[in-house]
Structure 1
């Protein structure tokens, strides 16, 4: 997963970080003053966003691993793993249960290695043919359950994405508004080289926005 990908798509449509509440003067008698924000620099240096991005990435990896470790488990093993992972989340595992949990998490990988080996092997014995058939049937029988679990995880991640995106969008808007009030700006815009043909460096307020964001982390 590309870094910041979840945030980048959500922020793409945010072309104006509004500071309209700071406009208490008559635009006809005042020069138009704006500030520009370099979003690439902002997301690279916004500490709370970086932390949430890393946590999101780790959540994705954990969900992927939860699918992988169930791919070749029997029904009873799957249920046992569910129960042990629940106890792990609650911090209630005994040493024996933790050992069993580790064993279950390795079992699908071991069976997958065995399955791949048997598929490639020529001149299989009858016992090996039966073992291969068992593993293939187990893999096929779990496919539908894994798809349902994957859909559940995708929905959870989508909701988390929405929460994180809204949180940081609102924080960036508020920081931009504060900068606008401090400097007497009418607008704070995203500096996009495809939209902004030229801008004086003095218009860049990225560091000031970051100062506010990182002070509130």
Structure 2
């Protein structure tokens, strides 16, 4: 009984610990980036705070679809329905990208009005907040939707370490590392930080797509079935 319980605990921790570290990594990277933005003064800090709140709300549907992908993929894989698990990942990613595209288009069209709802008066902070949305809620959102969908599938398929590795790339290698490079060494200032945030999901999305293809081939799931 004790041995069986220990095996279950190890199985839970093998998934739970990487997931916990992933969340810590993401939140730490945002804290570091926020600290970098605070150096540019009150206007930039206020604008980035509003922009981050809006982009967080915009990301809620993406996260909800990702959780559904994790649950459905895990159930299908556990039942031996590997082709169905693959289809969950593909259809889920398409749905996520489609929904995210619609949200991003609305944000691009209504950015000034949305920022105005947060109480920022016309001026420097207002303009910077709109710029934040123009940069961080654009085409990059499609890569974020793909990244989150593929990572959600990987988590359901039993590869939490891949998800953790992708989070490290997204959070530190690109979001923080590129922000440090663009804002400092290359002299783009806070705009460079915005660009780094926008670019952060691109590489992880490509890695996630490659993982899905590898998983499909390695598990002998035939194309189209």
TM-score, shorter chain, exceeding 0.5: no
Which of the two has greater helix per residue?
Answer: 2
Larger RCO: 1 or 2 (CA < 8 Å, sep 6+): 1
Normalising by structure 2, report the TM-score.
0.30
| Greater fraction strand | 1
TM-score by length of 1: 0.31
